[in-house]
Amino acid sequence: MVFREKDGALIAKRQGETLQIEPWGKNSLRVRSTMYPDFTGRDWALTESVSGNEAKVTITERADGPFAKISNGKIEATVNFAGVITFYKKDNSGPDDFILREYFRCYGGTESKESRCLKYINRDYKPHVGGDYRIIQKFESNDGEKIFGMGQYQQPYTDLKGCILDLEQRNSQVSVPFALSSLGYGFLWNNPAVGRVTFGNNYTEWVTEASKELDYWITVDDTPRQIIENYTGVTGRAPQMPDELLGLWQCKLRYRTQEEVLTVARTCKEKGVPIDCIVIDFFHWTVQGDWKFDETYWPDPKAMVDELHSMGIKVMVSVWPSVDKRSEHFYDMLERGLLVKNERGGLQNYDYQGDCTVFDATNPEARDYVWEICKKNYYDLGIDMFWLDNSEPDLVKYDFDSLRYYMGPALEVSNIYPQCYSRVFYDNMKKVQDKPVVNLLRSAWVGSQKYGNVVWSGDVPSTFEALRDQLAAGLNMGLAGISWWTTDIGGFMTDDVNDPDFRQLLIRWYEFAVFSPILRIHGDRGPYDIPPLDNRDFGGGYLHTGQDNELWSYGEDNFKIMKDQLKLRHDLKPYIKSLFEETSKNGAPIIRTLFYEFPEDKKCWEVYDEYMFGSEYLVAPILELNQYEREVYLPEGKWEDIRDGKIYDGGQTIKAAAPIESIPVYRLLK
């Protein structure tokens, strides 16, 4: 290994590889490696200007060969003659703490005493014929370590140690590859390529299927709060959420006419149900890619929007990235090169209700093209927000090796697609309005929080098992920097709205959602016995609609519970506003693992079926059918049950009542 220092960075060369380690923000280092003559210059998620660098590089000769160190604040990395990197958290009062070391099982070059005959190397470049590399990065596994973050996966595991995670965007799966370790570091895989990470007990392995270079960022600090602040300091933070969106967002699959929308809004007013937003779902359009209202059922959308605004209700409309061959824009977009390209076969890559492809949101020209249409047909009519559904994008089959974007092959760049899709609207809306931009998306990547994205957890089933999965998903999304997060209350897929078990699930999900960032009710409610409006095979009339999904749709008893819970949400609005202000300031999650607030409490690193709503409220959701009490762990402090005012000492597990009307919630007394 040949080392040198350049502009505060450590650069090393060996066997055709260039390795560069440089300071990048507070207590942080960025590591890049390539087999090409130079780096691409792409910063990917590292978009924010950085400061506070305290770089120090030393290069020495040891008996076994050259050796180098680079430090920046509390973090230090060493590189031996074989190029193996070891990371430490510096401690000025004692020995440095080891946190992470690359996995190397080859002759020489590591402090590990494991067998070196296996010929596993730490950074392995496997070339694609005529193209880029499949890159494998291995690290030693640390016994007893817990790992969190990484975005949203439909599984019950909050601690990801032992998990295998596909780095792929899919419906309800959101890859945001930032890992928070219980050992006091955060690790960002700064690459939007399709891949996989294995947090194994024997080693950790990151894989990118196609890339020109390896790129990751690592930070250390004393608490999870400080680590998240460092991480969002280099990737961006959410803007401020408007106060008028902290209440109920009303939605269903699907309101088919403007009269249905107005009837629901008027009934909400009559029944004393305040709603902040009403959502117009898919197939209000003619065909996918026309991005306009079907005039047959939406004859005067501006008048509809004006009436809703007069009631204090914001209006959101669904926009999909799919473009049907029947669309008036399809062939124009095809000729201009604004559609995603298939590497082989025909043009189709999406087939729900039409022969469709997807517009290429990684192409700035395509983003501007779609915005101009949506501005004319929606925004200029007064539409406030956009529901950017299918934003992974959804595909017939997730064959990433068969697609190519403006930005590069899908294997190399596709995970950044939802972030680019959101910028169709965020970038352009920022130019024409002086209020914060808020849009709803089904997917995200690192840094999506900057672009006014509320991310929801996708089309999940209506089961208690799915509700448990959403708790894990929401906590890990927050730890990955995506604090604006929500779910379909009750789950998306319901066979029978009259099933008492479903109605119980709906109430428990609603009670959980009251203590989540965005309170939003949505779902595809069976049975599907409502006839279509017409016999056409296109437009807003032919496609099915689900059963009613308003608060009063599930019986008087449930209506009362949800109204009471909605009042509680409104009572909490000043507090919730402060949580959104905090996440804009320092990246703090809104729903938080217990250890985020109580990192010194070992028990808090093991309890994942309850959470903190900000710093003051501990929430213990009900995650099982017919469960009317549960155990709740209370960390140190004095805790008040918000339902009856009873005060408990922390540092103990209590048995809490959970009648159908409420879930256990405790306020930390200062």
DSSP string, 447-487: TGGGGTEEEE--S-BSSHHHHHHHHHHHHHHHHTT---EE-
Query: Catalytic residue among 281, 389, 394, 469, which?
Result: 389
What the block records as the tokens of 215 is: 């790129």
3-state secondary structure 224-289: HHHHHHHHHHHHCCCCCCCHHHCCEEECCCCCCCHHHHHHHHHHHHHCCCCCCEEEECCCCCCCCC
Confidence of residue 129 (pLDDT cuts 50, 70, 90): low
| Within-domain flag for 223 | yes
Q: How many CB atoms lie within 10 A of CB 2?
A: 10
Confidence of residue 93 (pLDDT cuts 50, 70, 90): low
The answer to whether residues 206 and 303 belong to one domain is no
Cis peptide before 393 (omega within 30 of 0): yes
What the block records as the tokens of 288 is: 């996918």
The answer to whether residues 311 and 226 belong to one domain is no
**Residue that has been written with the tokens 């006419």 in this structure:** 257
| Within-domain flag for 353 | no
Alpha-carbon distance values, 457 to 149, 160, 236, 611 (Å): 15, 18, 21, 18
| Within-domain flag for 506 | no
The answer to whether residues 257 and 230 belong to one domain is no
pLDDT digits (tens, 9 = 90+) for 391-421: 999 999 999 999 999 999 999 999 999 999 9
Which residues are CB-contacts of 7 (< 8 A; sequence separation ≥ 6)?
none
Lowest mean pLDDT segment, chosen from 93-97, 286-290, 317-321, 535-539? 93-97
| Within-domain flag for 343 | no
Lowest mean pLDDT segment, chosen from 460-474, 535-549, 591-605, 635-649? 535-549
Cis peptide before 254 (omega within 30 of 0): yes
* Residue 114 pLDDT exceeds 70: no
Q: What is the pLDDT of residue 636?
A: 97
The answer to whether residues 8 and 116 belong to one domain is yes
Last residue of a domain, one of 211, 235, 259: 235
Strand partners for 175: 151
Helix residue spans in 76-223 (DSSP H): none
The answer to whether residues 528 and 651 belong to one domain is no
Q: What is the pLDDT of residue 623?
A: 98
Q: The domain containing residue 283 runs over which residues?
A: 248-320+368-388+418-456+523-554
The answer to whether residues 252 and 126 belong to one domain is no
Q: How far apart are CA 86 and CA 103, in angstroms?
A: 10
Residue 223: which CATH number?
A: 2.60.40.1760
Last residue of a domain, one of 506, 531, 554: 554
Alpha-carbon distance values, 239 to 176, 181, 449, 580, 619 (Å): 19, 26, 8, 9, 26
The answer to whether residues 126 and 255 belong to one domain is no
Count of domains observed in the chain: 3
Q: Are 280 and 253 in contact (CB under 8 A)?
A: no
Q: What is the mean pLDDT of the chain?
A: 95
Instruction: Kindly state the average pLDDT of the residues 260-265.
Output: 98
3-state secondary structure 503-546: HHHHHHHHHHHHCCCCEEECCEECCCCCCCCCCCCCCCCCCCCC
* Residue 219 pLDDT exceeds 70: yes
| Within-domain flag for 572 | no
pLDDT digits (tens, 9 = 90+) for 304-348: 999 999 999 999 999 999 999 999 999 999 999 999 999 888 899
The answer to whether residues 549 and 452 belong to one domain is yes
Query: Catalytic residue among 140, 281, 392, 610, which?
Result: 392
The answer to whether residues 432 and 283 belong to one domain is yes
Q: How many CB atoms lie within 10 A of CB 92?
A: 6
Q: What is the pLDDT of residue 52?
A: 73
Give me the amino acid identity at 235.
Answer: T
| Within-domain flag for 575 | no
pLDDT digits (tens, 9 = 90+) for 346-396: 899 999 999 999 999 999 999 999 999 999 999 999 999 999 999 999 999
Q: What is the pLDDT of residue 100?
A: 96
* Residue 126 pLDDT exceeds 70: yes
389 is catalytic: yes
Instruction: Kindly state the average pLDDT of the residues 77-101.
Output: 89
| Helix, coil or strand: residue 641 | strand
Confidence of residue 111 (pLDDT cuts 50, 70, 90): low
Query: Catalytic residue among 459, 469, 524, 597, which?
Result: 459
Confidence of residue 498 (pLDDT cuts 50, 70, 90): very high
Last residue of a domain, one of 235, 267, 301: 235
Alpha-carbon distance values, 396 to 186, 349, 392, 596 (Å): 35, 6, 12, 39
pTM: 0.96
| Within-domain flag for 243 | no
Residue 602: which CATH number?
A: 2.60.40.1180
544 or 111: which carries more pLDDT confidence?
Answer: 544
Residue 288: which CATH number?
A: 3.20.20.80
The answer to whether residues 218 and 264 belong to one domain is no
DSSP element (H, E) containing 143: none
Q: What is the pLDDT of residue 346?
A: 86
The answer to whether residues 195 and 263 belong to one domain is no
Report the percentage of the chain scoring pLDDT > 90: 91
Q: What is the pLDDT of residue 130?
A: 67
The answer to whether residues 312 and 440 belong to one domain is yes
| Within-domain flag for 200 | yes
392 is catalytic: yes
> Looking at 297-344, which runs of residues are DSSP E strands?
314-319, 322-324, 341-342
Q: How far apart are CA 267 and CA 552, in angstroms?
A: 10
Q: What is the pLDDT of residue 259?
A: 97
Q: How far apart are CA 539 and CA 560, in angstroms?
A: 37
Q: What is the pLDDT of residue 106?
A: 82
Q: What is the pLDDT of residue 112?
A: 52
Confidence of residue 36 (pLDDT cuts 50, 70, 90): very high
Angle at which helix 258-270 crosses helix 301-310, to 10 degrees, equals 10
459 is catalytic: yes
pLDDT digits (tens, 9 = 90+) for 425-479: 999 999 999 999 999 999 999 999 999 999 999 999 999 999 999 999 999 999 9
